[in-house]
């Protein structure tokens, strides 16, 4: 599971850079014209922040390979796919209903960070 979480974090970070550059250069006029540039930036930013979170969870897994750590990684990954994915889809399709899906991704982010917290909190040792 550690390899999967770390790999997913690396891929998501790489895709955030690619999508950010693509949005800033190739798509900027389209996104501005359709008043979706801020939405696109939000999708890229949240993808990048949570990709870094995936990497942190994956590295932490070395010290705490428990189900809470796995759930943290899976929830963060799911959050990226649903939160950022729904915003990207909204930007390209204009289907406003996709915005209703976005909060599900936000809840997964919260669940992921909470599971990560619990995994850390339940460590034995100093502190």
CB atoms within 10 A of CB 36: 20
Q: Is 127 part of a structural domain of the chain?
A: no
What is the pLDDT at residue 122? 87
| pLDDT surpassing 90 at residue 123 | no
Lowest-pLDDT choice from 14-23, 35-44, 74-83, 118-127: 118-127
- Domain of 42, in residue numbers: 2-121
Q: Is residue 61 part of a domain?
A: yes
Q: E-strand spans in 1-127?
A: none
* Inside any domain, residue 103: yes
The pLDDT, as a whole number, for residue 95 is 93
Torsions phi, psi for 66 (to 5 deg)? -120, 170
In-domain check, residue 126: no
pTM for the model stands at: 0.92
**pLDDT tens string 49-106:** 999 999 999 999 988 778 999 999 999 999 999 999 999 999 999 999 998 999 999 9
Question: What are the DSSP calls for the chain, one per residue?
Answer: -HHHHHHHHHHHHHHHHHHHHHHHHTSHHHHHHTT-HHHHHHHHHHHHHHHHHHHHHHHHTTT--SHHHHHHHHHHHHHIIIIIHHHHHHHHH--GGGGGTHHHHHHHHHHHHHHHHHHHHT--S--
The number of domains in the chain is 1
Instruction: Specify the pLDDT at position 126.
Output: 58
Closest among 84, 122, 121 to 101, alpha carbons compared: 84
- Is 88 domain-assigned? yes
pLDDT at residue 36 in the model:
93
Q: Identify whether 44 is part of a domain.
A: yes
Taking every pair of Cα atoms in the chain, the longest distance, rounded to a whole number of angstroms, is 56
Q: Is the dihedral of CA 14, 15, 20, 22 positive or negative?
A: positive
User: For 26-56, how does the pLDDT look when each residue is reduced to its tens digit (9 = 90+)?
Assistant: 988 898 898 999 999 999 999 999 999 999 9
């Amino acid at each position: 599971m550690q390899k999967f979480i770390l790999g997913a974090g690396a891929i998501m970070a790489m895709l955030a850079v690619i999508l950010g550059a693509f949005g800033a250069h190739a798509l900027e006029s389209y996104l501005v014209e359709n008043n979706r540039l801020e939405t696109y930036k939000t999708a890229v930013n949240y993808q990048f922040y949570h990709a870094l979170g995936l990497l942190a969870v994956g590295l932490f897994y070395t010290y705490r390979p428990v189900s809470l750590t796995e759930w943290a990684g899976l929830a963060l990954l799911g959050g990226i796919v649903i939160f950022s994915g729904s915003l990207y889809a909204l930007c390209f399709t204009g289907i406003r209903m996709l915005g209703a899906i976005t909060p599900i991704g936000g809840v997964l982010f919260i669940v992921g960070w909470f599971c990560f917290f619990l995994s850390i909190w339940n460590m034995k040792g100093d502190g």
